[in-house]
Amino acid sequence: MRYLPLTDDDRKAMLKVIGAKSADDFYGDVPKSARLGGKVAGLPDHQGELAVERHLSKLAAKNRSASSGPFFVGCGAYKHHIPASVDMVIQRSEFLTTYTPYQPEIAQGTLQTLFEFQTQVAALTAMDVANASMYDGSTACAEAAVMACRVTRRKKVILSGGLHPHYAAATKLLCEAQGLEAVHLPVVIDGEIALADMVDDDTACVIGQSPNIFGTVTDMSGVAEAAHGKGALFVSVFTEAVSLGLVTPPGEMGADIAVGEGQSIGVPLGFGGPYVGLFACTEKLVRQMPGRLCGETVDADGKRGFVLTLSTREQHIRRDKATSNICTNSGLCALAFTAHMTLLGDKGLQGLALLNHEAACDLADALEAVPGVEVLTPRFFNEFAFRTPMNAEAVLAMLDEAGVVGGVRASRLFPGEHLGDVIICAATECTTPEDIAAYAAALKEIV
C-alpha cells in the first residue's frame, strides 16, 4: 500500500516497544458488539494508481465540460479563464499541504497572502476591512444576516426578491434556527429598490444583490439610506466578483456589510465547490465579524510579520458565545483568488470586466434579434434573463442537442413562480463571437 510507510517488521518492533501483542489491543474499549471480525464488508480492496485513474477518468468522461463548446451558464458560478501560474501557485506543497497558520513563525507564507487577500477584498468591495474568507457566498450571506442581528440587537432580516435563491434559503435557514425572522420579498427581476420601503424599526438588516440573480445591476444607495434611517444595516451581496471592476461596489452604496462569491477570480467551476466566500464590513463592526482575521505585527527582532488576530470572537476560544461556528474556511481558494487578482491588478480587472460586459451585450443583441425573444433584464453586467416563446426546459434541451449549453431555466431556481419561459444566461471573456452566433442560430431554429 503505497501511502503507508510502515513495514511488517516495523510494526512488530513498535508493538514490542509499546508492550502490546497486536493492534487489537488498542481497540479494547470498543464495545464487543461493535467489533468487526475483519475489514468492512461490501467494499473493494486496494487498487493501484492506474486502476483508480481509469475508473475516475471514465466518470469524468460522462460530463460535458464548460470549455468543450458554447457555454452560457451563470447564476452564481461563472466560467472564466484561469492563468496557468495561478494553478501552479496553489499546487505549491508549502501552501497546499499546510494548515491554518497556528504557528506564525513557520506560516508567514500563508499569513502574508491572507493579509494581501484581505486588502484586495476590502479594495474591491470599497469596504474598510475584510476577513480571511468564508466557505462560499451563500454561507457568507447567512452569516452577514445573523451578524446584523447581533449588532443591532434586532430580530428581523429582509431579503430582496432578486437575491440568489440558494443564498436566500441558506440565510432563512440559519435565521430561523436562531429564532430570527427572515422576510423574503416576492421574486422580481428589477426590484432591489423595493427593500427601501420595507425597512422598519424592528429591522436588523436589508439584504440586496447587484448584479442580482437575473443579472440586474442596481445602485442601492437609497436602500442603504433607508436602512440607516431606521437604525438598520444594509448588506450588499454579489455573486460575480469580476463585476466589481465595473459596477458600483457595495462600499460606494453605503453598505455596512458586503458579502459575495469569489469563485470568478481564480477558482474553477468544479461543479459548485470548493469556492471562496468574501466578507467585508465597516471598521466599527469588525469585532462582530465571523471567521479568521489576519493582522500585521512585529516579531521579537522588530521585523514585520503577520498573525491571526482578534481570535476571541471565534469558536475555539468563545465556544458557545462565538460569533460563528466556522473553523476551517477556504484558504486555498482564497490563495487562488489573491494570486489571480495579483496578476490582474486594477488595470487587468477593469479590462476583464469590460470584456465580460461587452460579450454579454453582444449576446443580448444577438438573442434579441431572434423573433419572439425578449431580454427582460433592464441593466446588466455579464448576465441577463430573457423570455422565449416556448417552455424554457424544452428550449434548453434542444439547445443542448445543438451543442449549446444555453443557461439556466428560471423555473429550476424558482419552482412555482410562473417563470417557465425564462432563461438566465451569462457571457464572459471566454465567450467567442462564434459561440454567440451558434447560440442565436440554434435558438432561431428552435423557436
Partner 1 sequence: MTMNNQGRPTAPTAASVASIETVSGSRGLLQHADLIFEIGTSETTGVDLPAPQNRTGRLGGVARKVPTGLPGLSEPEMVRHYMRLSQRNYAIDLGFFPLGSCTMKHNPRLNEKMARLPGFGDIHPMQPQATVQGALELIDELATWLKTLTNMPFVAMSPKAGAHGELCGMLAIRQALIARGEGETRKRVLVPASAHGTNPATAVQCGFVVDEIKANKRGRVDMDMLRAKLERTDDVAGIMLTNPNTCGLFETDIKEIADLIHAAGGYFYCDGANFNAIVGRVRPGDLGVDAMHINLHKTFSTPHGGGGPGSGPTVLSEALAPYAPVPFVVKNEDGVFSLVEEVEGEASESFGRMVAFHGQMGMFVRALAYMLSHGADGLKQVAEDAVLNANYIAAKLKTVMTPAFEGYCMHEALFSDAFTADGIETLDIAKALIDEGYHPMTMYFPLVVHGAMLIEPTETESKAELDRFCASLESIARRAAQGDDTLKGAPYLAPMRRLDETRAARKPVLKWVPETASTVAAE
Partner 2 sequence: MATYYTEDHEWISVEGDAGKVGITKYAAEQLGDVVFVETPDVGKTVKKGDDMAVVESVKAASDVYAPVSGEVTEANAALADAPETVNESPEGDGWFCVIKLSDTGELDGLMDEAAYTAFCKGL
| Residue of 317, 327, 354, 397 interacting with partner 2 (CB under 8 A) | 317
Cis peptide before 274 (omega within 30 of 0): yes
Binding mask 311-340 for partner 1 (x = CB under 8 A): x--xxxxxxxxx-xxxxxxxxxx-x---x-
Task: Let me know: does 355 contact 388? Beta carbons within 8 Å.
Answer: no
| Residue of 18, 318, 354, 372 interacting with partner 2 (CB under 8 A) | 318
| Residue of 92, 200, 369, 389 interacting with partner 1 (CB under 8 A) | 92
C-beta of 297 vs 432, nearer to partner 2: 297
Residue 311 lies near partner 2 (rule: CB under 8 A): yes
C-beta of 32 vs 201, nearer to partner 1: 32
Residue 52 lies near partner 2 (rule: CB under 8 A): no
| φ, ψ for residue 177, nearest 5 deg | -60, -30
140: its cell numbers: 457568507
Binding mask 42-81 for partner 1 (x = CB under 8 A): xxxxxx-x-xxx-xxxxxxxxxxxxxx--x-xxxxx-x--
Task: Let me know: does 260 contact 276? Beta carbons within 8 Å.
Answer: no
Residue 17 lies near partner 1 (rule: CB under 8 A): yes
Q: Which stretch binds partner 2 (CB under 8 A): 41-49, 223-231, 267-275, 314-322?
A: 314-322
Residue 297 lies near partner 2 (rule: CB under 8 A): no
What is the distance between the alpha carbons of residues 211 and 203, in angstroms, rounded to a whole number?
23
Amino acid at 360: A
Q: How is residue 257 annotated by DSSP?
A: E
56: its cell numbers: 475516475
Residues 143-182 that bind partner 1 (CB under 8 A): 146, 164, 166-167, 169-170, 172-174, 177-179
CA dihedral 339, 340, 346, 349 (to 10 degrees): -170
Q: In what order do the strands lie in the sheet with 257-261?
A: 129-130, 277-281, 257-261, 233-238, 203-209, 156-159, 181-184
| Residue of 202, 284, 433, 445 interacting with partner 1 (CB under 8 A) | 284
3-state SS, residue 206: strand
| Residue of 22, 68, 85, 312 interacting with partner 2 (CB under 8 A) | 312
Residue 432 lies near partner 1 (rule: CB under 8 A): no
Cell 425578449, residue located: 374
Residue 54 lies near partner 2 (rule: CB under 8 A): no
Task: Let me know: does 381 contact 217? Beta carbons within 8 Å.
Answer: yes
Q: Strand 181-184 vs strand 156-159: parallel, antiparallel, or unpaired? A: parallel
Task: Let me know: does 447 contact 395? Beta carbons within 8 Å.
Answer: yes
Q: Angle, to 10 degrees, between the axis of helix 331-368 and the axis of helix 108-125?
A: 30
Residue 325 lies near partner 2 (rule: CB under 8 A): no
Number of chain positions touching partner 1 (CB under 8 A): 213
Residue 287 lies near partner 2 (rule: CB under 8 A): yes
Residue 208 lies near partner 1 (rule: CB under 8 A): no
Residues 243-282 that bind partner 1 (CB under 8 A): 244-249, 252, 261, 268-274
For residue 403, the partner it binds in partner 2, partner 1, none, with Cβ less than 5 to 8 A by kind, is none
Q: In what order do the strands lie in the sheet with 408-409?
A: 374-375, 383-387, 422-426, 408-409
Q: How is residue 134 annotated by DSSP?
A: B
Residue 238 lies near partner 1 (rule: CB under 8 A): no
Q: Which stretch binds partner 2 (CB under 8 A): 43-51, 316-324, 359-367, 393-401?
A: 316-324
Q: Which stretch binds partner 2 (CB under 8 A): 180-188, 315-323, 358-366, 429-437?
A: 315-323
Task: Let me know: does 390 contact 447? Beta carbons within 8 Å.
Answer: yes
Amino acid at 332: L
Residue 284 lies near partner 2 (rule: CB under 8 A): no
Residue 321 lies near partner 2 (rule: CB under 8 A): yes
Residue 29 lies near partner 1 (rule: CB under 8 A): yes
What is the nearest approach in angstroms of partner 1 to the Cβ of residue 58? 8
For residue 427, the partner it binds in partner 1, partner 2, none, with Cβ less than 5 to 8 A by kind, is none
**DSSP-derived secondary structure for 210-242:** SS-TT-B----HHHHHHHHHTT-EEEEEES-GG
| Residue of 70, 137, 260, 420 interacting with partner 1 (CB under 8 A) | 137
Amino acid at 63: N
Residues 369-408 that bind partner 1 (CB under 8 A): 378-381, 396-397, 400, 405, 408
| Residue of 188, 193, 355, 447 interacting with partner 1 (CB under 8 A) | 355
Nearest to 278 by CA among 134, 101, 154: 134
Interacting residues toward partner 2 by CB under 8 A: 287, 311-312, 317-318, 321
